[in-house]
Amino acid sequence: MPAKQRGVALMAVLLIFAVLTALAVRMSGNHALLIGQSRNQFESDLALNYALGAEELARQALREDFERTGKDVDHLDEAWAQALPPFEVDEGGYIEVQVQEQNGCFNLNALVNEATGAAAYEALKRLFLNLGVAETAADVVRDWVDGDMDPVSAVSAESPDYQLVDPPYRAADQQMADLSEAWLLATLEPEERAMLMANTCVVPGYTEFSFNANTAPLPVLAALKAGVEMADLATLEGTVRTFSNDGELLNVVPVLNGAEGNLTFESQYFRINVHAQVGQAVTILSSLAYRDPSTGVVTVLQRDFGRDFTSALVIASDEENNE
């Protein structure tokens, strides 16, 4: 073969080799990307399933509490209410689960109850006062959930007021679906909104003006009756309440005499919060569960994957450990 033809053949071979090398590099990169995507998807699916498994574990704990300790009394010294440390999983991650009772907090949907809504509204005003917030903040909440277009007061707001903000929207004028709706209460000051979200809750579909006396925060208990001050409930401060009837409660805090009609000693609604991490994948699940007071069956009513999760784990610093 002439030297010129051999040179052309060599160039063709080198060109083919370069193309094949580029294709091999591209295929290798795509393969690595595919493996990474598959691993991420696997870890995400695993974290989700671990979260759902933790939810089921919490439901079982609530069912066992009903069967073992009785259905008539719930308090914060029971097993379901204890803070558990995160536990590791084999795939290089951990799970943390918390159960928060919901019948002790102030359910804002109680404001729409036709029979007791007015009493709940007055109690909410007293609750704000107990927390150091202007009672008029209750007007804003009431106008958000009531079914009319008439503002409760001059500092309140209805749909025409919300339509002036950017972007405009309307008042719900119905029960709240989630406490995050508090962010839409534009006429509240930031500290008022923060206090509202920290000391109240929303249970969709539940409007009873009733609280578990064993789990309700002291500001809520004090708000149930006009004239009751926080100092009047000092004997309950820092104690685990395990009352089982009105007599036991009033024997300790007789100042609540007359408010017992709005108090119970059992809980039906619970929020199950789960943080599950596998590798770099994280699933945060917050489920609202209902425990049937007659059968103890625990049913998940709502799942939310968009809530924050605050760990109960507290890591002491070196200085605290040396003290």
Share of the chain above pLDDT 70, in %: 87
CATH number at residue 141: 1.10.40.60
Closest by CA to 205, choosing from 268, 139, 294, is 268
* Average pLDDT across the chain, whole number: 87
Residue 16 lies in a domain: no
pLDDT confidence of residue 96: 95
Residue 21 lies in a domain: no
Q: Which of 11-25, 85-99, 203-217, 242-256 has the lowest mean pLDDT?
A: 11-25
pLDDT confidence of residue 35: 61
**Domain check: are 202 and 214 in the same one?**
yes
Residue 305 lies in a domain: yes
Handedness of CA 163, 165, 168, 169 (dihedral sign): negative
Beta bridge partners of 291: 298
The model's pLDDT over 112-125, given as tens digits with 9 standing for 90+, comes to 999 999 999 999 99
Cα separation, 116 vs 208, in Å, equals 8
Residue 275 lies in a domain: yes
Q: Which residue has the tokens 């909410």?
A: 124
End position of a domain, from candidates 264, 282, 311:
264
Name the band, by pLDDT with cuts 50, 70 and 90, for residue 41. confident
Question: How confident is the model over 146-158, as a mean pLDDT?
Answer: 84
pLDDT confidence of residue 151: 85
What is residue 322's three-state secondary structure? helix
Element (H, E) at 31: helix 3-69
**Domain check: are 176 and 317 in the same one?**
no
**Domain check: are 76 and 148 in the same one?**
no
**Domain check: are 189 and 276 in the same one?**
no
Q: At residue 146, does pLDDT exceed 80?
A: yes
What is residue 23's three-state secondary structure? helix
Residue 15 lies in a domain: no
**Domain check: are 118 and 210 in the same one?**
yes
Across the chain, how many H-helices and E-strands are there? 8, 9
**Domain check: are 140 and 245 in the same one?**
yes
Residue 22 lies in a domain: no
Cα separation, 192 vs 229, in Å, equals 20
* DSSP result, 97-137: EEEEESSSSEEGGGGG-TTTHHHHHHHHHHHHHHTTS-TTH
Share of the chain above pLDDT 90, in %: 59
**Domain check: are 283 and 145 in the same one?**
no
Cα separation, 85 vs 97, in Å, equals 8
pLDDT confidence of residue 155: 79
What's this model's pTM, rounded to 2 decimal places? 0.84
Q: At residue 73, does pLDDT exceed 80?
A: yes
Q: At residue 137, does pLDDT exceed 80?
A: yes
- What is the number of domains present in the chain? 2
Cα separation, 257 vs 236, in Å, equals 15
pLDDT confidence of residue 68: 87
**Domain check: are 91 and 213 in the same one?**
no
Q: Taking a C-beta distance cutoff of 8 angstroms, is the pair 124, 138 a contact?
A: yes
Residue 194 lies in a domain: yes
Name the band, by pLDDT with cuts 50, 70 and 90, for residue 194. confident
The model's pLDDT over 209-267, given as tens digits with 9 standing for 90+, comes to 999 999 999 999 999 999 999 999 999 999 999 999 999 999 999 999 999 899 999 99
End position of a domain, from candidates 214, 232, 264:
264
Cα separation, 321 vs 217, in Å, equals 31
Q: Domain span at residue 198? A: 107-264
**Domain check: are 125 and 250 in the same one?**
yes
**Domain check: are 132 and 213 in the same one?**
yes
Name the band, by pLDDT with cuts 50, 70 and 90, for residue 153. confident
**Domain check: are 245 and 149 in the same one?**
yes
Q: Which residues contact 60 (CB under 8 A, 6 or more apart)?
A: none
pLDDT confidence of residue 6: 59
CA distances to 64, 67, 289, 299, 315 from 295, in Å: 11, 9, 14, 11, 40
pLDDT confidence of residue 40: 76
Q: Which residue has the higher pLDDT, 291 or 191?
A: 291
**Domain check: are 117 and 246 in the same one?**
yes
